[in-house]
Structure 1
Amino acid sequence: MKPISKNETKQGGVATRSVGIREVARQAGVSTATVSRALNNPDSVSAALRGRISATIDEIGYIPDASARALSSRRTRTIGAIIPTIDNAMFAQGLQALQSFLATRDYLLLLATNEYDLDIELKQARNLVSRGIDGLILRGDRRHDDLRRLLISQDIPFVNVGVYEPRKPYPSIGVDNRAAGRRVTQHLIQLGHRRVGVVAAMQRNNDRAQARLAGVLEVLEENAATPPDRWRLQVNYRLDDARQGARVLLDSADRPTALVCGNDVIAYGVMLEAAKLGIKVPEQLSVVGFDDLEWSRHLSPSLTTIHMPTDEIWVRAGEYLVDRLDGSPAIMHREIDFSLVVRESTAPPPIDNL
């Protein structure tokens, strides 16, 4: 039996020779150093030469050794991201936009979740750092102090997404969530609503939800419309939980004429439960959300909500880290504009509730 050399592997019982950088250089008619420059510093070779080397790589199926490239450049071209959960359409949308951008810059995305738990987030960050990430994207600014110390000691740049907090020393890219909460509530006040309830997202370790709720309650207080405690609920970002919360608020003669929901998914649950209880939206109940998911404009009635530019937020976060890693100027805090989208789910309150 013929032995398999160190440059060969066994696939389906057939010996195949692995392709190395020397083979790429030989077929492209250049030196191995030139191939290395084309891979690690593309701008150092001409466009024509890059094209020839790239075509050769595609033809013979060469895959660069990531560990070897990391040793030579001290970079893995890998960005980590830690989000609370993947069970959220906004996170999925943002991560898709981020990954698409990073791919254009030859970076890989590694993802972890923290379940809104700061200890879990710290553990996941340690795991990502041990795998050699070059930078890290984090959701919000509420975290374990040890995590910041870890990233600073390891000289790993990071950025907080979904928040805009220019007074803090940590990079942030996102919207002013308090202002967004104020804006959507002002819309209800302008329609004439004073009996306004809130079905907020769970507040624990969620500074975005906390800021939105603070903005909502500020406007209601300013207009002598502070809701009683029984009209303030916190639920998970799930339809079933939202429906149960709506049932508590709406299955009573003493109910609000409008509900501010922590996001669009919660608003969907509220509207579904209102329909089940025979409460018409918006004739008897106005409903607003946050995020402006795709389904929001297709519902009947369509949902009034705050449009969050999710794709831009995550792409800007990726740009910030790539610029930092490349030594280019990077804006530390970037505010992304939100907008109120008025649709069919809001109207003036019923006359008998004015």
Structure 2
Amino acid sequence: MTGTKRTREGSGRVKLEAVASAANVSTATVSRVFNEPDKVSEAIRERVKEAARALNWIPNAAGRALASSRTHIAGAIIPTLDNEIFAHQIGGMQAVFSNAGFTLFLGCSNYDPLEGLRQAEAMLARGVEAIALVGENHPAELFAALKARDIPYVVTYSYSKLSEHPCIGFDNRAAFIRMTDHLLALGHRRFAGIFQPVANNDRVAARLAGVRDALAAADLAMADENLLVGPSTLEFGAESFSHLMTREREVRPTAIVCGNDNIALGALMAANALGLKAPTDFSITGFDDLAISSRFAPGLTTMKVDNQSIGTSAANQLLAVVTGRQAGPQSEEVAPVLQIRDSSGRWPQDRA
């Protein structure tokens, strides 16, 4: 048994030496490439990894963790896989973590806080060194577990100066105040909203608060029957729009604020089927600026969020803590940009 163990260990050393020889570097450099990649130039990293791939050599993750007390694993928990905005965010994180020699574990909560907690606990059990979480709507036990283990974390896709958590994202409430103000400036006074569910989603709650606050500042309010809440789907957007437009022209809303682009695009599809056109018959806005939003006819007025930048910043903040370059993650605000397109226009006062 001892002989077998020595043979395996010896074989491992030979393979490491073979990689070093093929890359024309020392064995210590090979080790640094996989354990401390930031201490090795990019050219040498690529040379060593190319040699490792050619020799079919993969470093033993468990051995690395035991030797260095490091796992080089980070985690990210997102609410859904059905939205491209989170794919962009994860793409930004993945690029940064991969370049630093980290593996990114991905979990999906499906907007269920308890499932998010289970995902986080599974990641902690596997030794993640840092975690990124979308939004603040997570059980207190999750944040307590991270703090108890001294695991750095950031909250993404949300930002508040009053938050107790390090945030990398944008102020959802402020964004929707700005969007509503845009429609108010165009002369609209009868508003409706089509939104995804508020339950377990602090971002949507903040967006709705922004709409209501902007309307209140203009001495207006959105009637309860004008707020439709349901799945973030094209179908729900279409059904909701059709429902709103069955009313007499004199009382139906002239401006519709949607919780995201997906819902707004569904509404525009329904408008085409009903023979209605924005902005002549109504104005509508979305949020996120999906790839199709500028190519749809009419082009959708929305807000562009640089989700890849959010992911990149989140990963950089977490790595700075993990590698000892700073004490804790710092909050960063990534401001969304209003994209004014043909789906919103001035509402004539004689038709208000």
CA distance in 1, matches of 2:188, 2:45: 63
CA distance in 2, matches of 1:161, 1:43: 25
Letter in 1 for 2:337: S
CA distance in 1, matches of 2:263, 2:43: 54
Structure 1 residue 55 displacement after superposition: 5.2
CA distance in 2, matches of 1:100, 1:52: 19
Structure 2 length as normaliser, TM-score? 0.90
Which of 171, 179, 183 is the aligned partner of 2:174? Answer: 179
Asked whether the 8 Å contact 2:38–2:100 carries over to 1, the reply is: no
Distance 1:335 1:37, change over 3 A: closer
**Count of residues in correspondence between the two structures:** 342
Which SS does the other structure have where 1:90 is aligned?
A: helix
Which SS does the other structure have where 1:312 is aligned?
A: helix
CA distance in 1, matches of 2:304, 2:43: 44
Alignment of 1:202-281 (within 5 A): 202-253=197-248, 254-281=251-278
Which of 334, 337, 340 is the aligned partner of 2:338? Answer: 340
Match of 1:129 in 2: 124
Which SS does the other structure have where 2:221 is aligned?
A: coil
Distance 1:258 1:326, change over 3 A: same
Report the aligned-residue RMSD. 2.4
CA distance in 1, matches of 2:116, 2:138: 8
Match of 2:280 in 1: 283
Structure 1 residue 168 displacement after superposition: 2.4
Letter in 2 for 1:157: P
Structure 1 residue 267 displacement after superposition: 0.4
Asked whether the 8 Å contact 1:239–1:268 carries over to 2, the reply is: yes
Alignment of 1:109-120 (within 5 A): 109-120=104-115
Does 1:308 find its partner at 2:315?
no
CA distance in 1, matches of 2:34, 2:262: 44
Asked whether the 8 Å contact 2:234–2:263 carries over to 1, the reply is: yes
CA distance in 1, matches of 2:254, 2:41: 66
Structure 1 residue 166 displacement after superposition: 2.5
Letter in 2 for 1:272: M
Which SS does the other structure have where 2:52 is aligned?
A: helix
The runs of 5 or more residues in structure 2 that have no matched partner are: none
Structure 1 residue 282 displacement after superposition: 1.0
Which SS does the other structure have where 2:315 is aligned?
A: helix
Does 1:64 find its partner at 2:59?
yes
Structure 1 residue 40 displacement after superposition: 2.1
Structure 1 residue 27 displacement after superposition: 5.4
Structure 1 length as normaliser, TM-score? 0.89
CA distance in 1, matches of 2:44, 2:177: 56
Letter in 1 for 2:331: H
Q: Relative to total residues, which structure has the larger strand share, 1 or 2?
A: 1
Match of 1:324 in 2: 321
Does 1:108 find its partner at 2:103?
yes
Asked whether the 8 Å contact 1:196–1:225 carries over to 2, the reply is: no
| 1:87-136: CA deviation from partner (whole Å, max 9, x where unpaired) | 11211122122212222222211111111111111111111111221111
The runs of 5 or more residues in structure 1 that have no matched partner are: 9-16
Asked whether the 8 Å contact 1:261–1:288 carries over to 2, the reply is: yes
CA distance in 1, matches of 2:103, 2:264: 35
Letter in 2 for 1:271: L
| 1:189-211: CA deviation from partner (whole Å, max 9, x where unpaired) | 00000011111221011111111
Which SS does the other structure have where 1:110 is aligned?
A: strand
Asked whether the 8 Å contact 2:289–2:302 carries over to 1, the reply is: yes
Which SS does the other structure have where 1:290 is aligned?
A: coil
Match of 1:166 in 2: 161
Percent identity (aligned):
38
Which SS does the other structure have where 2:101 is aligned?
A: coil
Does 1:190 find its partner at 2:188?
no
| 1:280-320: CA deviation from partner (whole Å, max 9, x where unpaired) | 11100101011111111101100001111111111111111
Asked whether the 8 Å contact 2:78–2:133 carries over to 1, the reply is: yes
